[in-house]
């Protein structure tokens, strides 16, 4: 009986060893736990060589490689007031690009507004302290400077003849994600109001994704040349891309870089007047000879309009609750361009410099007249 039990144990142990040692080899692999895995072998299809880029991809890559070393991440730090804690630090981020090997960096004014400390990080992860060389709040531009080695400047294009449908690229730091490139087309060329309220003529509208953090970065053409400075998105209350972004044309920046470098500000030409925009309803009430124009409320003593003999108002009246002066000259054209309100004058002045001469067409009473004005430098006057 005892021998029979021993033989039974030997048979059970031997059988278990044979099953675990030999049966998987014969059946391929046995799933002893019955986990439900695949009963067929896994076969992968792999590429035999590195992928070839098509011409469109090659151009994307070329633009990125050319422009990226010139694009920087800008961090601005300022102090803000908190009701409970008093002054607390606040940090903002934006983008910019290097203009020359001397370390001049162009960005948006609103990126560095109110900052007491500005740092710039290049694409090779070097950090530099930046100083403000000059700022143009009206055009939302700021010129910074850093001191560094092997700085790579961008190539600036001419933004005069841009065309709707032209391919464009944006490189910057959206939401702090440095070195991000998006692409799209020019959707329109139109005049808009910038973030600081100033007029931006011929702004570049694009559907390339532009988000917070892209501000101040370059908008590039298909050759990797800068055609604009990304500045604004139409967000409809949501702080993210809606497919409608705007860039300041690079020619606008070129026109003021000399003043920013030399004076730290932009010397703006001025007619030397305090003015009021006139529309059809007001013109009818006042009995003016034109349906629209800019009514001269006051001429600044010694200013361009005063030297040219233009007249301000001499009779006080009220427009609603606002006191105005009637009886002044009504400006309707400057250098043959229609003037309907003060923004039209601002656009015309954008292309002029102090010391330039312009021809102003105006009504004095019912009499249409012209005068040549040598533009002064604007300070606190509105036009």
**Residues recognised as catalytic:** 110, 140, 215
In whole angstroms, what is the distance from residue 77 CA to residue 132 CA? 13
HEC letters along 296-335 = EEEECCCCHHHHHCCCCCCEEEEECCEEEEECCCEEEEEC
In whole angstroms, what is the distance from residue 16 CA to residue 293 CA? 104
**Residues forming a β-bridge with 141:** 136
Question: DSSP letters along 233-255, please?
Answer: E--TT-SS--S-EEEEEHHHHHH
Beta strand 269-270 pairing with 315-319: unpaired
Alpha carbon 378 to its chain's center: 26
Could you tell me how many helices (H) and strands (E) the chain has, helices first?
7, 22
């Amino acid at each position: 009986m005892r021998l029979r039990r021993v033989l039974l144990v030997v048979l059970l142990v031997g059988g278990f060893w044979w099953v675990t040692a030999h049966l998987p080899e014969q059946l391929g692999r046995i799933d002893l736990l019955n986990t439900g895995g695949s009963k067929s072998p896994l076969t992968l299809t792999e590429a035999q060589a590195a992928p070839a880029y098509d011409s469109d991809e090659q151009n994307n890559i070329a633009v990125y490689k050319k422009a990226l070393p010139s694009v920087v991440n800008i961090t601005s730090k300022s102090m803000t007031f908190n009701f409970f804690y008093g002054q607390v630090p606040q940090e903002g981020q934006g983008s910019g690009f290097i203009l020359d090997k001397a370390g001049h960096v162009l960005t948006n004014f609103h990126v560095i507004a109110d900052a007491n400390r500005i740092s710039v990080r290049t694409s090779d992860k070097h950090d530099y302290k930046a100083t403000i060389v000059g700022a143009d709040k009206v055009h939302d531009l700021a010129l910074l400077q850093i001191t560094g080695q092997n700085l790579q400047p961008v190539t600036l294009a001419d933004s005069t003849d841009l065309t709707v449908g032209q391919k464009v690229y944006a490189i910057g730091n959206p939401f702090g994600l440095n070195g991000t490139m998006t692409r799209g087309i020019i959707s329109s060329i139109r005049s808009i109001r910038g973030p600081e309220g100033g007029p931006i003529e011929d702004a570049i509208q694009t559907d390339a994704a532009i988000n917070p953090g892209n501000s101040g970065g370059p908008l590039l053409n298909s050759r990797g040349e800068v055609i604009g400075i990304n500045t604004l998105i139409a967000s409809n209350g949501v702080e993210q891309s809606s497919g409608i972004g705007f860039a300041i044309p690079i020619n606008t920046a070129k026109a003021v870089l000399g003043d920013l470098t030399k004076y730290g500000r932009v010397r703006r030409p001025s007619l030397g007047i305090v003015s009021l925009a006139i529309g059809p309803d007001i013109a009818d009430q006042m009995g003016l000879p034109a349906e629209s124009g800019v009514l001269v409320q006051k001429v600044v003593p010694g200013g361009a309009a005063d030297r040219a003999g233009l007249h301000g108002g001499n009779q006080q009246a009220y427009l609603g609750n606002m006191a105005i002066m009637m009886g002044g000259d009504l400006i309707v054209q400057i250098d043959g361009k229609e003037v309907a309100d003060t923004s039209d004058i601002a656009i015309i002045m954008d292309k002029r410099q102090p010391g330039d001469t312009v021809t102003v067409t105006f009504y004095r009473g019912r009499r249409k007249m012209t005068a040549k004005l040598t533009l002064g430098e604007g300070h606190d006057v509105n036009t």
